[in-house]
Amino acid sequence: MRDELPKECKRDLDYRALIDTLLSLEGELVCLSILGLSSRRGTGGEPRITVLGELRHFDFGWADGFAVGDGGRILLHEPDFISGSLWTFDGNDFFLLTLRFGDVEFLIGDESGAQQEFTM
């Protein structure tokens, strides 16, 4: 749970530490954003996909997967891992995980990250 996260930290995570951190957040309401999708119009705005829901883990044996809500799924394959980081603030009430796999960046944060997008 969120209480297990370190307070007021900003640190890089290797693959195993990233998975362990995600496992500690299982059952939490999170916001998943997927970045790195190329914009064809060159407008300067970065397209993204955002999903809000409870974080759940599933293990394939050869890769780790996580579900966010009823519709969001990510599959994390260690050979594709480039970098990961954790940032907590206001104690650990707010958090943001950054995961980079190949050309895609995933952001997983507390539910406040989706407030504006989901209340429009």
Say if residue 92's pLDDT is above 80. Answer: no
Q: Determine, yes or no, domain membership for 35.
A: yes
Query: Domain containing 21: what range?
Result: 2-112
Res 10 pLDDT > 50: yes
* 75 falls within a domain: yes
Residue type, 71: G
47, part of any domain: yes
Residue 42 maps to which CATH number?
2.30.29
Residue 119 lies in a domain: no
Q: Please state, for a pLDDT cut of 70, what percent of the chain lies above it.
A: 83
User: Is 26 among the domain residues?
Assistant: yes
Which of the listed ranges 41-45, 70-74, 82-86 does the model predict with the highest average pLDDT?
82-86
Is residue 118 in a domain?
no
Q: For 20-37, what is each residue's pLDDT tens digit?
A: 999 999 999 999 988 875
Rounded to an integer, the average pLDDT of 55-67 is 89
Residue 120's pLDDT is what? 44
58 is a domain residue: yes
If one counts the domains in the chain, the total is 1
- Write the DSSP string, 43-108: -SPPP-EEEEEEEEEEE-SSSEEEEETTTEEEEE-GGGEEEEEEEEETTTTEEEEEEEETTEEEEE
For residue 120, is it within any domain?
A: no
